[in-house]
């Protein structure tokens, strides 16, 4: 089938007004509040501990994406429900996932491709798995992330929410992430329903011992 590039799409009109979609809104993410998971990782060093358990046989001068960046990219993608490496083609450009991997959302190069991530996963050896088990990784690292999130959600309306509910209600939220000289903005919708809860959880992160 021939591929056609459209600049605008026309939907059914409403009250005699055209409903028009275009593609000039800039780079927008649909996972903005998953930056909470980055906060958890930064506090509890999950990705760093994972990376220490994995060997990296690559020659330094040939490395484009370091081991920790690959671990973070894969960890947060799975946490947000993108378990298939084929999603990397889209997520590599996503500003939220770039920030979570430790990169600037606009000025930094794209994250690793599907092929790079597949090679990374295929390099894991029996010794790596043994080191992971010795470190205490007996369950999925993403389970650990959500367990930590639940711990900080106690006493809130989402305290007993399942993982998919947390993703859909709290984490999967659209936003623009413009990059400025001194600040990386996360511009959420003014009607975001969990504004107070988000502020409370961030405060809880920083007040509780690691």
Cα–Cα–Cα angle for 152, 35, 147, rounded to 5 degrees: 35
Question: 10 Å Cβ neighbour count for 1?
Answer: 3
The segments of the chain whose pLDDT lies below 70 read 1-5, 136-139, 210
Residue 179 lies in a domain: yes
Residue 122 lies in a domain: yes
Instruction: Give the contacts of 6 (CB within 8 A, at least 6 positions apart).
Output: 23
pLDDT (0 to 100) of residue 141 = 86
Residue 10 lies in a domain: no
Residue 11 lies in a domain: no
Total domains in the chain come to: 1
Give CA 194 to chain center in angstroms.
Answer: 19
pLDDT (0 to 100) of residue 74 = 95
Token pair of 197 as six digits: 């809860």
Token pair of 105 as six digits: 């959302």
Q: Based on the number of CB atoms within 10 Å of its own CB, is 49 exposed (0-12), middle (13-18) or buried (19 or more)?
A: middle
Residue 4 lies in a domain: no
Give residue 83's domain range. Answer: 28-207
Residue 172 lies in a domain: yes
pLDDT (0 to 100) of residue 7 = 80
* 63-100 pLDDT per residue, tens: 999 999 999 999 999 999 999 999 999 999 999 999 99
Residue 69 lies in a domain: yes
Q: Is the dihedral of CA 22, 24, 26, 27 positive or negative?
A: positive
Instruction: Give the contacts of 114 (CB within 8 A, at least 6 positions apart).
Output: 85, 86, 88, 89
DSSP-H helix ranges across the chain: 35-44, 46-52, 67-79, 88-91, 95-100, 114-122, 126-135, 141-153, 163-166, 195-207
pLDDT (0 to 100) of residue 210 = 66
Residue 8 lies in a domain: no
pLDDT (0 to 100) of residue 27 = 84
pLDDT (0 to 100) of residue 4 = 53
pLDDT (0 to 100) of residue 204 = 86
Q: How far apart are the C-alpha atoms of 37 and 90, rounded to whole Å?
A: 20
């Amino acid at each position: 089938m021939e591929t056609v590039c459209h600049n605008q799409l026309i939907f059914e009109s409403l009250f005699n007004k055209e409903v028009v979609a275009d593609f000039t809104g800039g780079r927008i993410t649909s996972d903005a509040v998953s930056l909470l998971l980055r906060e958890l990782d930064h506090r509890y060093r999950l990705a760093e501990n994972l990376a220490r358990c994995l060997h990296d046989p690559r020659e330094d001068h040939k490395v484009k994406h370091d081991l920790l960046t690959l671990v973070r990219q894969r960890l947060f993608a799975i946490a947000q429900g993108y378990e298939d490496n084929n999603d990397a083609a889209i997520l590599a450009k996503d500003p939220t996932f770039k920030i979570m991997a430790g990169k600037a959302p606009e000025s930094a190069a794209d994250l690793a491709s599907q092929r790079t991530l597949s090679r990374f996963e295929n390099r894991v050896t029996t010794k790596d798995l043994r080191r992971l088990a010795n470190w205490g990784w007996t369950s999925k690292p993403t389970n650990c992330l959500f367990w930590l999130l639940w711990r900080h959600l106690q006493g809130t309306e989402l305290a007993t929410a399942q993982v998919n509910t947390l993703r859909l209600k709290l984490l999967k939220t659209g936003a623009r992430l413009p990059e400025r000289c001194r600040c990386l903005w996360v511009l959420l919708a003014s009607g975001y329903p969990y504004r107070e809860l988000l502020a409370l959880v961030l405060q809880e992160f920083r007040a509780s011992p690691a």
